[in-house]
Amino acid sequence: MLQHQLLSFIAHFGYIGIFGSLVLGIIGLPVPDELLMTFAGYLISQGRLHYFTTVSVSVVGSFTGMSISYFIGHKFGYPLLEKYGGKIHITKQKLGHAQQWFKRFGKFAVTIGYFIPGIRQLTAYFAGISEWSYRTFFVYAAPGAMLWAVTFITLGTYLGEHWREVMETIHQYLLIAVVLIAGMALIVWYIKRKWGKK
């Protein structure tokens, strides 16, 4: 089973395993990223990894994957994803959902999208396809990478041996929670914009 192999890979190779797995997961391969980072947090609780180094490696790994996706989108555009996306588990259905999400939430889709499997892998492609400057992409993607990594690694650190069962429960309700948070953020932004105009 892929999940078991990846956890064994991280347990054996440590930081290098975390970095490589996150880069591949963000690009689009079927890697359970949240599970891996929570597991890394568990390894921290066991004294096998260091918290600051693990967070740093996870942020750099996930952002590296996002940057590769951004440059692929920027260079080759939507037709490449449509033609070859299936080979890295990016289906037309996922592309449609991600495109709608990207149009609805704009730049914040890159930040919030980290927390949504299936969306996370595609927002960077759409940022590149939309011809954002890399500086703009960095401004919105980097905080998302940091928040995402800190959230799940810290969770794994505090959960310790119970990390797996809690993560399975969280994963079921993660999308609902993120949509609610995103909705609230949009409402706040809309109110501020209206007041600003007045």
Q: Model confidence at 186, in pLDDT bands (50, 70, 90)?
A: low
**3-state class of 107 per DSSP?**
coil
CA dihedral angle for residue 103, residue 109, residue 110, residue 114, rounded to 10 degrees: -140
Residue 82 scores a pLDDT above 90:
no
* Averaged pLDDT for residues 97-126: 75
Residue 72 has pLDDT above 70, yes or no: yes
Among 163, 167, 107, smallest CA distance to 133 is for 107
Provide the whole-model pTM: 0.74
Closest CA to 9 of 27, 35, 28, 45: 35
177, 56 in Cβ contact below 8 A?
no
